[in-house]
Amino acid sequence: AQGFRDDVEDADAAALAKNSAGMEFSEEDMEQVKQYAKSIQVLFELRKGMDAYIETAARRFAPNTAAIAGPAIALRLLVLAGGLDKLAKMPSSTIQLLGAEKALFRHLKGQGRSPKHGILFSHDLVQKAPHELKGKVARLVAAKIAIAARVDYFSKDDRSAKMRGELEAQVGVVLK
């Protein structure tokens, strides 16, 4: 019965196992734990499949926006905006605050600070920026996403590599 304390073969691990806190597992306990572990493994596989689907869908519908924002953020922006057509017509300041509407209205009532970023907070470039520059980097990312969404909607050209390079160069200048 694999997984019991008595079945540990490594000498160091066996010593740790003998002195560990907790109760002994019965065969039934071990079977439940194994089923739970299999369920978690299935969920991880589903997550991988969903991530792959999201990436292909984002690159198919909005390749430039997906390259700038990342596939997951691009699709979340499209959902929050109500479609690529509406995202393409939004100013970058609105794109920057998508997902932070609650904080924005709280600020407008005079009950909080103004939000600097909505879902763009999870963008890799915003995450890497120092705290005091996150708002500035989010503004740059939102501006480039606005341009990318317009290219995706109006021209369908794939300029993603060039646009991503420009964004990284702009962020590099801000972070220096």
Tokens 């980097």 belong to 137
Task: Work out the end-to-end distance of the chain between its first and last CA atoms, rounded to an integer number of angstroms.
Answer: 58
pLDDT per position as a tens digit, 116-170: 888 999 999 999 999 999 999 999 999 999 999 999 999 988 999 999 999 999 9
pLDDT for 1 equals: 42
Q: Are 46 and 130 in contact (CB under 8 A)?
A: no
**pLDDT range class, residue 173, cuts 50, 70, 90:** very high
DSSP 99: T
- The two structure tokens encoding residue 147: 């341009």
**pLDDT range class, residue 3, cuts 50, 70, 90:** low
Is the four-CA dihedral 64, 69, 73, 78 of positive or negative sign? negative
pTM flag (> 0.85): no
Listed residue (164, 166, 132, 135) closest to 63, CA to CA: 164
Half-sphere exposure of 62 (CA within 13 A, CB side): 29
Is the four-CA dihedral 117, 122, 127, 131 of positive or negative sign? positive
Q: Left if phi > 0, otherwise alpha if psi is -120 to 50, otherwise beta: which for 23?
A: beta
Indicate whether 82 pLDDT > 50: yes
